[in-house]
Structure 1
């Protein structure tokens, strides 16, 4: 009887266990997408939906991938295994995932798997494969790419690959995009990429490639070789039209302008931060020998490998963007730009140019942005009817002081002038032809003007009238004279004004007139609290840091309180008890005071001056002071009253005494 009961209970328990509800999965399920990321999982959850299109297992602790771990995923299309600890994958695991298009295996430990020299098996449908950040060495990627016929996008970024062999991508002929950024590639075997007829984007940036002397990837559209050790870039002399549109060669050691395809479609070329001294390809032999000795040129049996050959004239008719900044150019002949008839942006900043000119026949007349800042410019000239579409001009950092006064007035579409760090003075509007100042009035397209650090002595009346400026920067011109009409003509346009660091003690400008002014920077001056508004203000951001403000005029506070949203008041000798309106303003919730922690004020206590944060001011800090003043006032009044009464009484007594004596005598 007991045995039968035990068997019956066992059966009941098994049935109960069978019928027990399954544990809820920790993953989030939305339709056919399952998110199991960042759950510290060491195993794949067992009870997942039958049909999954996306499974995100990123940022967990998975180590081994087997069929038992990933069962029944035949319909999966995207599998994200980023940032786990995967070091083993069962060969053939992905073979039955016939719809898998994206496989992310980045940031794992697949170098341990590759060390087993075992192929992962076919990736028959995978189009996007990410193997970045896995510590893979040279040839280790072969174990993942041996059978990926549809693979189009491959990332091997952030590994330890030193060489790309000619067989690396043989079994992945559909590749269109390869990312090899941030490896230690020194060598690329001939034929490594040539067989990839569909390859259009190749990123080889942040490696150790020393030179490219035989570029022949006709089909490539984007090539990034930035941050290598290139001293030369040369294209094979092929009578073919190259599809290359974007070429990034910045931050290398290139000495001369690269040899580009004669028939090209280049629209973007970045050669910034190199050692360019000439726009020609060849240079003096002794110079190359010096560079060889200094280690800039890699050699083989004491013969330079990366010497530049004489080049033909290069046509760049479709080029839109050219960056030659941070090089060593002293001069660039105007003929260099002769074929660049479409160029819209030219950056020549941070070189050693002493002169720059654009004449009527120059191809640079298509420029919209020109940057020649931080050179050694002594001469600058723009001929008549030149730069007719130029919108932005950077001239800062050249110490220029002698220019044709009307040079900017002749730019019919100029919107932004960056003239800071020069030695300009501003012409009065009606002054005749001159070379000792620049005219900034009557430029109807000008919206942005930067004149900081120009040692400006004064701003003449109506200096900007007729130029509808939105932003005006007059900062860092110590001692500049600013009159009440210096900004006249900007009342209906000016939105941002900076007068920072000008040693201003007073301001005669009535900002009430500037109805569109939103941002005003008056920091690092010597202002003491003059009224800046006679009526309402439109200012939303006001910087009063580092001045000599003891009080802020009550009418200024009243003018600001409706529109002000951001206020800087730190580093001022503010009085706690003479600024009740300012302190009330600072306590408003809608107002942001970013430097509130550094904003302090002072009050008197026991004949001493006490400094506290403005946010810590309490009524009793000033009540005690007011009370003392009141009692002293009462005592003084009483004393004066008693003195007056005594004087009057003495006079009355004196007059009565004299009257009595006179009466007796009579």
Structure 2
């Protein structure tokens, strides 16, 4: 057995020895960094076996011949490089990554461009922030057939033509953001069959009216001046998955390829919705399409027909100009999971949907996959029950910064017939329709009344009611969700302890009751597995140490600053320290004694110095002494006056 194992070990050793002798072992490339060393030239004593060399953030102005035959990566970024000798890279046979960003390569174009032409295996090139013009870039990209990734951020390009990449047709990723490009000639990117990522953000592009890049997966056109995006219809598959048109001047939804893989669409910070009605916007978008492709008659709704086939899962429409919700357009997105509609101009979501032709009744559209809806800061007052019925899988709803008033619980909304019969002019919102809802944010909505059973029939896990400063919370307001709530925020509501009534919540782990007028923690929390509680900026003088003990099995963090704790009533604090509950803001917490205020951390270092007697006995003793002194003083004064009067009377009788 031992001999057998020994023979195997001997065989393994001989194989490894042979591999080493024949040079087949893998040696990790040597690395050397001269980053930020105040160098004015390349060091002369570089190891010839270097695989990676970092010379960034220096003052190198000229680059001469480098004798580094094994070098694969060279970083010369953030220097003052303006002259590269023609033979500088001739001996760098293995160089694949070259970073020349943040230099002055707009100078000495002849010598510099010839130097780069000598690199035969270059795969990644970064020439960003060099002040390069169209002609200069074209010269730098000659003889770059192996180039895979190109970065040209922050140069002075104004026009892109087919000549630019004619010798770099293997490019997979191109970044030309923050230039001055206003024109892209046809045929510039189409021949680049491997191109997957194209970043043209921060340029001067105004129209995309003939999008034909079938191969591109990620297209970034943000921070331009794009007014419309149109794709002529064909039957070819477009691989586009991410389209960023944010921070432009779009008036319409983009007309995307008919057959596409688009999953993420960024349209935030545009002017979509400025045309008021959805019907007007759709008809004008289709008219524009027909004008661009020179169709004399409108055959169909191109916008909707293409959107119907789009497998979109995320769309951002925040910071646009919508005053009505585009129900019909967005309901076409059957795969949509996340919709950001925050910071628009909605006041009401009205079910403004064309009636069914046959019955004449309201058509019920659906958002069958929508899970996350953000409607923050729209000024919303009313949301149609038909819209809420359409959210069949909604889990997260953000209504922060609106004027939504939750309706009282109703039992007659379970059927479509009863929904139609309810008063649609009511200004409150019925949340119990949202049976799949888990996360609801109602912060800063000026809510006046939170009725009993407001959220029953939902599956709420987290609820934010903060900054509703005049809200009255009825005793059973959380009834129906008290068994599912894990996070509850009721800060900045001006509540007193008598106003706050919380039920037993058996799964609640996080509670924020900060910025109120509370002086006691609700005893009902003893049955909650709280891990974190925030009681900052209230009127607490002390805490119930028995309650803290009851919660100690799970509690690991408390925020307590902004209260006015009595230093000498600190039994709760002793309990907190013994249980090793974290107090992250203890250094910002102040407590008071009879004669001074003390930062809590200072008090904890020597508690006995500040509190020699139990607070209650001390306070009682002091009060009793004051009363006794006052009483004795009054009695003495009365006695003296009485005695003087008696003396005066006696003297008068003698006279």
Quickly name the TM-score band, shorter chain normalised. Answer: 0.7 to 0.9
Q: CA deviation at 1:205?
A: 0.4
Whole-Å separation in 2 of the counterparts to 1:463 and 1:339: 31
The root-mean-square deviation of aligned C-alpha atoms, in Å, is: 4.3
1:581 to 563, 567, 572: 572
Q: Compare 192-201 and 626-635 and name the one that shifted more.
A: 626-635
Structure label with greater radius of gyration: 1
TM-score, reference length from structure 2 = 0.73
Of the structure 1 ranges 94-103 and 125-134, higher mean CA displacement relative to structure 2 is found in 94-103
For 2:652, the equivalent position in structure 1 comes to none
**Partners of 1:386 and 1:160 in 2: CA distance:** 48
Structure 1 segment 495-506 matched on structure 2, within 5 A: 495-506=486-497
CA distance in 2, matches of 1:335, 1:638: 82
Residue 601 of structure 1 is matched in structure 2 by 591
Mark the CA change 1:171 to 1:483 in structure 2 (over 3 Å): closer, same or farther: same
**Corresponding residue of 2:220:** 224
Residues 589 and 409 of structure 1: is their aligned pair in 2 closer, same or farther, counting only changes over 3 Å?
A: same
- State the partner residue of 2:19: none
CA 56–589 in structure 1, closer or farther in 2 if over 3 Å, else same? farther
User: Using the alignment, how far apart are the partners of 2:610 and 2:229 within structure 1?
Assistant: 73
- In terms of fraction of residues, the more helix-rich structure is 2
SS of 2:164 mapped into structure 1: coil
Work out whether residues 358 and 386 of structure 1, in 8 Å CA contact, stay in contact via their aligned partners in 2. no
1:660 match: none
Aligned partners of 1:234 and 1:308 also within 8 Å: no
Residues 110-139 of structure 1: CA deviation (Å, up to 9, x unaligned) = 333438665223221111111122332332
* Residue number among 611, 620, 629 corresponding to 1:622 in the alignment: 611
1:539 aligns with 2:534: no
Aligned-residue offset at 1:462: 4.1
Structure 1 SS opposite 2:444: coil
1:119 corresponds, among 114, 131, 150, to: 114
Q: Is the 8 A contact 1:485 1:509 kept in 2?
A: no
| 8 A contact 1:531–1:555 mirrored in 2 | no
Q: Which residue of 1 is the match for residue 89 of structure 2?
A: 94
| Worse-matched range after superposition: 448-457 or 432-441 | 432-441
Q: 2:564 and 2:75 mapped to 1: Cα distance?
A: 59
What is the distance in 2 between the residues matched to 1:200 and 1:361? 43
**CA–CA distance in structure 1, aligned partners of residues 391 and 326 of structure 2:** 22
Contact 1:472 1:497 in 2 (8 A): yes
Counterpart for residue 103 of structure 1: 98
- Provide, for residues 493-517 of structure 1, a one-character-per-residue CA deviation record: whole Å limited to 9, x for no partner: 3211011122211158787933332
Distance in 1 between residues matched to 2:613 and 2:514, nearest whole Å: 33
What does 1:71-470 align with in structure 2 at a 5 Å threshold? 71=67, 73-114=68-109, 118-120=113-115, 121-235=117-231, 242-261=238-257, 264-276=260-272, 277-278=274-275, 279-280=281-282, 282=284, 313-314=302-303, 315-316=306-307, 317-320=309-312, 321-330=314-323, 336=329, 340-352=333-345, 355-357=349-351, 386-397=366-377, 400=380, 408=388, 411-420=391-400, 421-428=402-409, 430=411, 434-435=422-423, 436=426, 438-441=429-432, 445-470=436-461
Cα distance in 2 for partners of 1:502, 1:237 equals 55
Q: Is the 8 A contact 2:405 2:448 kept in 1?
A: no
Cα gap change, 1:334 to 1:440, in 2 (>3 Å): closer
- Against the structure 1 CA distance between its residues 267 and 132, is the aligned structure 2 distance closer, same or farther, given a 3 Å change threshold? same
Secondary structure of the residue aligned to 2:397 is: strand
Shift of 1:565: 3.1
> When the two structures are aligned, how many residues end up with a matched partner?
569
Q: Is contact 1:557-1:582 (8 Å) kept?
A: no
Query: Residue deviations 1:272-308, cap 9 Å, x none?
Result: 32223353474899xx9xxxxxxxxxxxxxxxxx999
Paired with 2:258 and 2:554, the residues of 1 have a C-alpha distance of 60
Q: Deviations over 1:193-244 (max 9, x none)?
A: 3443433322110112233444444443432211012234444677765544
Structure 2 Cα separation of the partners of residues 426 and 333 of structure 1: 25
Distance 1:124 1:139 in 2: 21
Instruction: Answer with 495-504 or 453-462: which moved more.
Output: 453-462
Change beyond 3 A, Cα 1:417–1:631: closer
What is the CA-CA distance between 1:56 and the residue it aligns to?
Answer: 3.5
Unaligned runs of 5+ in 2: 1-26, 276-280, 633-655
Q: Does 1:40 align with 2:30?
A: no
1:165-213 CA deviation, whole Å, 9 max, x = no partner? 4422222222222110112223334543344343332211011223344
How far did 1:549 drift? 1.8
Q: Which residue of 2 aligns with 1:296?
A: none
Q: 1:460 to 1:260 in 2, by over 3 A?
A: closer
- The CA distance in 1 between the partners of 2:231 and 2:330, in whole Å, is 20
Q: Deviations over 1:84-122 (max 9, x none)?
A: 443332223333433322222223333334386652232
Query: TM-score, normalised to structure 1's length?
Result: 0.72
CA gap of 1:388–1:117, structure 2 versus 1, over 3 A, is closer
